[in-house]
Structure 1
Amino acid sequence: MPSKALPPGLPQLLVEDAVRAALLEDLGRAGDITTAATIPPQASANVVLSTREAGVAAGIGFAETAFRQMDPAIVFSAKVADGARVEAGDVLAEIAGNARAILSAERVGLNFLMHMSGIATHTARFAAEIAHTHAKVCCTRKTIPGHRAFEKYAVRCGGGSNHRFGLDDAVLIKDNHIAVCGGVAPAIARARAYVGHLVKVEVEVDTLDQMREALAAGPDAILLDNMTNDELREAVAINTAESHGRVTLEASGNVSLDTVRAIAETGVDYISTSKITMAAATLDVGLDVRVG
């Protein structure tokens, strides 16, 4: 029986640094002057974070970190875990403590939570469309600068997979590399000679002829860019016949919720799209004060 995948996680130091930077940006030079002017220093509050619509939660730890950085004495009680499916009106967390600290951390906590939950929710829609196949949807490097690790974490919370995190953790030979290098085969050969044995080598191809040239050169993965579904099916057949399916096939280009099912049904292993990060709307989450 295969092992169950561990839940996604992030180093807490990354979370702490990102949240601290966001709080400093929001507090500016004088702090929260609205709250300081209207709320007594010792006032306390009990609040809830709740959803206004259905989706997938992600970023609960970011919200908790925002409130605790404003005041370590704040009690933050999470009611769901990242990756949980939620309905409109569900309580994500209950928060109690100093009212000034809670109100000053509200926007930063919600910004992370809404943005990351939106990505997880949109990813889950894509994953549901292809759940009957063996294909997985994966993200790209098209992310908000400085937030890539968090957005890729949210993709995993939504049931997607991660592509490379940067230019340094895998080789992806694209069309411009091939053009400058003089061909698919020499580009793959140079990459193999350059990187260590633990670094994967993927090459992007636009035609089936290029794919055959790539297969002969022995990459770990081939990205089939902007191919028709008929071409994708033929590519899967070629891969099975010539490499016994040992090379991972990834489809990319023209991927949407309307097209992803048919792409997955061609038999490819992965479908990469920037839509799950760049086109994801935020999930509507609010903070409400409990009165009485």
Structure 2
Amino acid sequence: MKSNTWTKKAFSLISLLIIVLAIWYLVALVMNSNQLINNLERKKQEWSYLQVFSQAYEVKRPMLPAPHQVAQELSRSILDKPITSKRSLIYHAQITLNSTLLGFVFGSILGILIAIGIVHNKTLEASLMPWVIASQTIPILAIAPIIVVVLGAINITGVVPKAIISMYLSFFPVTIAMVKGLRSSDRLLEELMHTYSATSKEIFWKLRWYSAQPYLFASLKVAIAVALVGAIVAELPTGAQGGLGSRLLSGSYYGQTEQIWVALIVATTLGSLLVWLVGLAENALLRRRGESTNA
């Protein structure tokens, strides 16, 4: 039964991949052909559709690179370069990963602390919660350069400014989920613990924290993803010398669309891996709690 399920999943995945690749090749053919025709007409050269179609996937700076061109650039950037080289995507991914993880840890801790304060203090909820929500209405592209410049003025550079931007994005989902989770504990169980003279600290650790754990891990999956986005965005407007954001920026400046696509693929893969690792931790926790998992 399980083998049939896996076969169906594999067939669906392969079918979807084939459809995506076919559409990708078709769109690349149309976009690159138009680009090639415009270049030939600008040079007042004669051309035919057969000639254009045969050269559409060989354009040096295509508007949309074909999948095989992206794969070749991916191989050159990862397999053909040493990890310590500034042309290696592994090198740049490591820089972005450092900022992501540091911002994720800071954001998670901050979100949990804010949620605990909101749940246990009505005044803090009324005064702080609107600001927590309002903080996410500010475009990150607007405040990222400000944060980097201000921290640079006091000689704080490198990973920390990018981590702060990641923290700014990642604390919000943790805060909202933990407020909901800490308030999801069974009221009858809470009253029962009161009858046994349980302290607020005991109620928190033995009941509220336990009830909030599923909410926490659900929010951590979102937080780790947006922390990666924050790290990449922080590298875009600051002229960073390393990181996936810097690769996207340099690719945009010099029209290297293959480089842009490869950086996007690596960023997507890195984000998926980080979310998967959080999911593994969640499954381990659920097994320890005696609950079923999706694995």
The structure with the largest helix share of the pair is 2
Larger radius of gyration: 2
Structure with the largest fraction of strand: 1
TM range (shorter): under 0.3
TM-score, normalised with respect to structure 2: 0.27
